[in-house]
Amino acid sequence: MSQTDNKRFFESLSGAGKAIAVLTSGGDAQGMNAAVRAVVRMGIYVGAKVYFVHEGYQGMVDGGDNIKEATWESVSSMLQMGGTVIGSARCKDFRMHEGRLKAAHNLVQRGITNLCVIGGDGSLTGANLFREEWSGLLAELVEQGLIDEEASQKYSALHIVGMVGSIDNDFCGTDMTIGTDSALHRIIEVVDAIMTTAQSHQRTFVLEVMGRHCGYLALVSALACGADWVLIPEMPPEDGWEEKMCQKLSAKRAGMKRLNIIIVAEGAIDRNNQPITSEHVKNLVVQRLGFDTRVTILGHVQRGGTPSAFDRILASRMGVEAVLALLETTANTPACVVSLCGNQSVRLPLMECVQMTQQVQKAMDEKRFEEAVQLRGRSFENNLKTYKLLAHRKPESELPQSNFNVAVLNVGAPAAGMNAAVRSAVRVGISEGHKMFAVSDGFEGFYKGQIKEIKWADVGGWTGQGGSLLGTKRTLPAKHIDKIAEQMRKYNINALLVIGGFEALECLLQLYEARSSYEEFCIPLCMLPATISNNVPGTNLSIGADTALNAIVETCDRIKQSASGTKHRVFIIETMGGYCGYLASVGGLASGADAAYIFEEPFDIKDLQSNVEHLTEKMKTSIQRGLILRNENSNENYTTDFIYQLYSEEGKGVFDCRKNVLGHMQQGGAPSPFDRNFGTKIAAKAMQWISRKLNESYRQGRVFANTEDSACLLGMRRRALLFQPVVQLRDETDFVHRIPKEQWWLKLRPLMKILAKYKTSYDVSDSGQLEHVVLNRPKESEAMAAI
């Protein structure tokens, strides 16, 4: 591998002479096709031969046409398809020694010694067993005269890399499995639709979601829609739960709520390991409360549909990482699984992950439920804690009395997920004993005195609402600092939570600077990043960016489909983002774009020309549609119109062009499950930090916090959620273009280029380290607790 300043690049990593087979096994999951596409294209890109194994292990055992060489074009238009195009099957034959012997013979005949398996823990365990038996199987084949000694020597080692494709997110060692986010999208779409009909008729709905042994889907969808009750296998309800649940539902109705939602995982059990069915829950509600109650079993709807933007990016990243892992593996490297930790791809020993996954089931069987939750990982544990905190209101008598007043406001442009964050902050604040105040219309409303107390019930049903229900403006506080300080005194505000984009950071810096003149601002100040542009320094992700990405990807899918069956066509699509190219770049990766023009990576007429030539070449072979994304401020002269006209002129006779400006549709719509949960959980964490800071800084009857670390931004950095003083973020910020000086997602750009067949350089410094599964990560490594 070439080394430059301790960086590693993959250019000198060659796959020449190697053969890689890719297969999908077990239950299908959305995003599997994106993973297959990435493996095929990355494999071909580095010079390896890549084979499809159709119908999972069954195809490997049967051989023949089930194992076919893949071409670059054979994975075109695969990215947006759900399920698995190469097929998946449960295979009894592969469980038998004879079956594995046949499979080994079929692989050796084609010279395949690298296997990329996309499936659940059963599929991956089978692959590991196959690897362990490999030399013995080859010896048997030699003995039977099916292969010669030379072939046995040449193909003496089998290398395996796994990717976890499972909608249940039931695999230990990875924060998210391929397909989970898409399944959550399906569930939340159904819940949002059911809520309107339930409200009309004052009904209770019991929703059964998938998850035979894992309650992740049930728990996270309950968190994302604010369900009244959730039943999961890892944490069965206490004895007497029936009475408690009915009391809660009854109290909700008495509080003028017209509907109740109960979510049940299909594998839900009670403390005696007896199943709790959705029908049983329905009968309970009908018999004890007499409510009109209906059951909806979502079933295989959750497995279907197109993959979400998150799953496409995850699967594409994992697929590329899997090929890198196969190229670097040696005879002594254990079988590994490519996994996601925080925002980083990592490699973990396959069997360590499988063993821990099996320990969860064992703990549940032995009724060690607390341990089962811990074994699921910090993300699962935090989801459960947050759900309990937000769903069940303690009686007034049990709440601590803090006498602190905390104000919440939104600043900047609206972003989907802001309301979920406000709801979470208000409810956690009330649980901590504070009096919560809502400020309408940002700092403009603040200086005008648009401040009112907000109660627990006031934020009911907010999680699924797009935009900003509090109202938001771009006004900065500096001009009105006197009036704002006056309002702070009037309402005795002891802490401030600001939810917004780049403007929110500027606001916090202005308030911090005003501390020298106004004691009113010597209080805990906290900011949560919420902007579709994802241009806030100090965080890898912002609330709202995922929803915008999904809007872009859905639109790109439709636009590409509009050209199916017509002549060759190229679409030029303009995205929002200011000077930040996040939406264009990551949206390009998720929708299979050929190029994405952004401000951070300057381009000139030569680049445009080479892109046109590249597309022309592809169009002459077999690709029918091209997709070009352009960030709105990528270049003041090379406008969307200019690029459209250039491509139209240069592509004459080969392809025609169309252009689209996506505009504000990227800002609207209901928040995605990711944004609902990210907003909910970072707001809860921020309120707990505010409570801690308030208690630390309370002296002689008042709050006084004047240190740098009392004005912070809570952001996600690689694998951790961190509170960072806003003053320290100044040096990391380009204030002229309103973007961070360093942006993590720029490392993903080469992936898009590789998958679009451009020659490029790719920094793989973060790859290659085989890590170990850690039961409990350090306290603050809670990055994916944010999912």
Q: Does 664 appear as a known binding residue? A: yes
Dist. CA 131–CA 108, nearest whole Å: 13
Q: Does 111 appear as a known binding residue? A: no
- Is 219 in a helix, a strand, or coil? helix
The C-alpha angle with vertex 200 and arms to 197 and 202, in degrees rounded to 5, equals 100
Q: What is the 3-state secondary structure (H, E, C) of 89-141?
A: CCCCHHHCHHHHHHHHHHHHHCCCCEEEEEECHHHHHHHHHHHHHHHHHHHHH
Q: Does 690 appear as a known binding residue? A: no
Q: Does 278 appear as a known binding residue? A: no
Dist. CA 786–CA 381, nearest whole Å: 11
Q: Which residues pair with 340 in a beta bridge?
A: 345
Could you identify the residue written with the tokens 């919440």?
Answer: 408
Q: Does 730 appear as a known binding residue? A: no
Q: Does 42 appear as a known binding residue? A: no
Please confirm, yes or no, whether 168 is among the known catalytic residues: yes
Count Cβ neighbours within 10 Å for each residue of 612-628 and write b for 16 or more, e otherwise: bebbbebbeeebbbbbb
Give the up-direction half-sphere exposure of residue 65: CA atoms within 13 A in the CB hemisphere.
0
Long-range contacts of 12-16 (CB under 8 A, 24+ apart): 13/46, 13/324, 13/327, 13/328, 14/46, 14/47, 14/327, 15/43, 15/46, 15/47, 15/48, 15/323, 15/327, 16/46, 16/47, 16/48
- Catalytically annotated residue among 168, 228, 441, 557: 168
Dist. CA 184–CA 167, nearest whole Å: 9
Q: Does 562 appear as a known binding residue? A: no
Helix (H) or strand (E) holding 439: strand 435-439
Q: Does 515 appear as a known binding residue? A: no
Q: Does 300 appear as a known binding residue? A: yes
Dist. CA 185–CA 334, nearest whole Å: 35
Dist. CA 596–CA 34, nearest whole Å: 19
Q: What is the 3-state secondary structure (H, E, C) of 475-501?
A: CCCHHHHHHHHHHHHHHCCCEEEEEEC
Q: Does 131 appear as a known binding residue? A: no
Q: Does 576 appear as a known binding residue? A: yes
Q: What is the DSSP string of 279-341?
A: HHHHHHHHHHH---EEEEE-GGGGG-SPPPHHHHHHHHHHHHHHHHHHHH--TTSPPEEEEEE
Q: Does 288 appear as a known binding residue? A: no
Helix (H) or strand (E) holding 205: strand 204-209
Q: Does 258 appear as a known binding residue? A: no
Q: Does 749 appear as a known binding residue? A: no
Q: Which residues pair with 711 in a beta bridge?
A: 525
Q: Does 533 appear as a known binding residue? A: yes
Q: Does 287 appear as a known binding residue? A: no
Dist. CA 609–CA 680, nearest whole Å: 46
Residue among 96, 95, 107, 97 at smallest CA distance from 140: 97
Q: Does 195 appear as a known binding residue? A: no
Kindly report the number of other CB atoms within 10 A of residue 540's CB atom: 22
Q: Does 577 appear as a known binding residue? A: yes
How many residues are recorded in the chain? 787
Q: Does 645 appear as a known binding residue? A: no
Residue among 548, 551, 555 at smallest CA distance from 580: 548
Q: Does 302 appear as a known binding residue? A: yes
Q: Does 120 appear as a known binding residue? A: yes
Q: Does 203 appear as a known binding residue? A: yes
Q: Does 578 appear as a known binding residue? A: yes
Q: Does 657 appear as a known binding residue? A: no
Helix (H) or strand (E) holding 411: strand 405-411
Contacting residues for 254 by C-beta, under 8 A, at least 6 apart: none
Q: Which residues pair with 2 in a beta bridge?
A: 9
- Structural contact between residues 596 and 686, judged by C-beta atoms closer than 8 angstroms: no
Q: What is the DSSP string of 549-596?
A: HHHHHHHHHHHHHTTTTSS-EEEEEEE--TT--HHHHHHHHHHT-SEE
Q: Does 665 appear as a known binding residue? A: yes
Rg of the Cα trace of the chain?
27
Q: Does 100 appear as a known binding residue? A: no
Q: Does 136 appear as a known binding residue? A: no
- Residue numbers annotated as active site: 168
Residues of the binding site for substrate? 166-168, 203, 210-212, 266, 294, 300-303
Residues of the binding site for beta-D-fructose 2,6-bisphosphate? 474, 531-535, 569, 576-578, 632, 658, 664-667, 738
Residues of the binding site for Mg(2+)? 121
Residues of the binding site? 27, 90-91, 120-123, 166-168, 203, 210-212, 266, 294, 300-303, 474, 531-535, 569, 576-578, 632, 658, 664-667, 738
Residues of the binding site for ATP? 27, 90-91, 120-123
